Amino acid sequence: MNADWIGEKIEVDEATIIVGGGAIGLLSAYRLACAGEAVVVLDRGECGRESSWAGGGIVSPLYPWRYSPAVTALAHWSQDFYPQLGERLRAESGIDPEVHVTGLYWLDLEDEAQALAWAAEQARPLQQVPIAEVEQALPVLAPGYRQALHMPGVANVRNPRLVRALRTALQCMPGVEIREHCAVEGFLREGARVVGVRTAQGALRGRRVVVAAGAWSGELLKSLGLALPVEPVKGQMILFKCAADFLPAMVLANGRYAIPRRDGHVLVGSTLEYAGFDKTPSGVALASLHASAAALLPALAEAEVVAHWAGLRPGSPDGIPAIGPVPEHDGLWLNCGHFRNGLVLAPASCQLLCDLLLGQTPIVDPAPYAPALHLLGQQ
């Protein structure tokens, strides 16, 4: 399939080439374009149709206290930034990403004490609440839960609309070109320097190359002899149609979550499967998700199932992304390996990338994300 060009044609030699048009790639392009940089985004399919489209969109790690300080730093910055990002994209694109603040309840956690200690240390508003209070706030909740934690400020973003808003905003910006159905097959090199990419439609040279190819990032970097431990991790979701006021807050129990959208859709997920690049939805997963949904919110047993799908997360050790320049490969940059938190961490990850790339003061300490720490055999 030939590449589809979107936006203005630019002098590619002077541009930053971004490989991957998901939330990370598009937002990286957006931040660079806002700084006056020329950008070309390449995607093997349609922008935003892989993990960014398939996920739930909770603007928090599912269990934030179980992550490293490196993930926490990016998550906190992103959570604070999301409301203004949503408003800006809505104004520029005409598409509302629906950054929807509902709060999140965790039920019957085994590590509740650890969660509360983390919240106190991080000054985050996570509190114990009586289960009777939860039942009053969520009348559709199944009976039998014993304890709950609540964080009131947690939002969810409607991820398909977020990536559509980013793509549309980029189309309107000068110095931006998007090429869909343009698979990157390898890299162009001059000595140790990466100077572009090879695609199914031919070679493209650029000032630098940023790999933000999600679950495909590790495979792509193998062509340079680089071993980045990023692998596909399948996740399946189910979507129900309910009344707009059916579920006023997000809720998580027994490893499964329910997310309300503004229009009454309720998203329930997700599975965690190591099945290579197969993203075929399965009947077994559908049955499991449906059973979990009904156990959490009994009315969903009879609710209309709108859709069931699967996506591939970019799995990585400890969920810490690699962000920054690749040693001994001048011109090559990474922004990948976000595992289950790509949408959560995207604003901070992309701002950090731009800070480093443009020589600005970074928003957070970049050391934990340095590619040298993540590439096997490079330490």
Per-residue pLDDT tens for 247-284? 999 999 999 999 999 999 999 999 999 999 999 999 99
- pLDDT at position 379 is 46
Distance (Å) of CA 60 to CA 80, 226, 342? 11, 31, 10
pLDDT (tens digit, 9 = 90+) per residue, 36-52?
999 999 999 999 999 99
What average pLDDT does the chain have?
95
Q: Do domains 4-53+161-229+318-374 and 104-152+231-315 have the same CATH topology?
A: no
Distance CA 60, CA 151 (A): 10
11 pLDDT above the threshold of 60: no
Portion of the chain with pLDDT greater than 70, in percent: 96
Q: pLDDT for 226-238, tens place per residue?
A: 999 999 999 999 9
Residue 200's pLDDT band, with cuts at 50, 70 and 90, is confident
Closest CA to 62 of 298, 370, 306, 272: 272
Per-residue pLDDT for 104 more than 50? yes
With b meaning 16 or more CB within 10 Å and e meaning fewer, what string describes 130-147? ebeebeebbebbbeebee
Alpha-helix runs per DSSP H in 304-367: 342-358
CATH number given to 104-152+231-315: 3.30.9.10
- Could you tell me whether strands 4-7 and 265-269 are parallel, antiparallel, or unpaired per DSSP bridges? unpaired
* Number of other CB atoms surrounding residue 80 within 10 Å: 12
Upper half-sphere CA count for residue 303 (Cβ side, 13 Å):
26
* pLDDT tens-digit readout, 118-146: 999 999 999 999 999 999 999 999 999 99
Rounded mean pLDDT, 350-355: 98
pLDDT in tens, 272-322: 999 999 999 999 999 999 999 999 999 999 999 999 999 999 999 999 999
d(CA 139, CA 132): 10
Q: Which helix (H) or strand (E) holds 193?
A: strand 193-199
Cis peptide before 270 (omega within 30 of 0): yes
Mean pLDDT of 328-335: 97
Alpha-helical runs (H) found in 273-330: 283-296
Q: Which of 375, 373, 353 is nearest to 362 (CA)?
A: 353
Strand partners, 19: 42, 211
**Would you list the domain boundaries of the chain?**
4-53+161-229+318-374, 104-152+231-315
SS3 label, residue 118 = helix
pLDDT higher than 70, residue 373: yes
- Tell the CATH topology of 4-53+161-229+318-374: FAD/NAD(P)-binding domain (3.50.50)
Residue listed under structure tokens 């060009």: 5
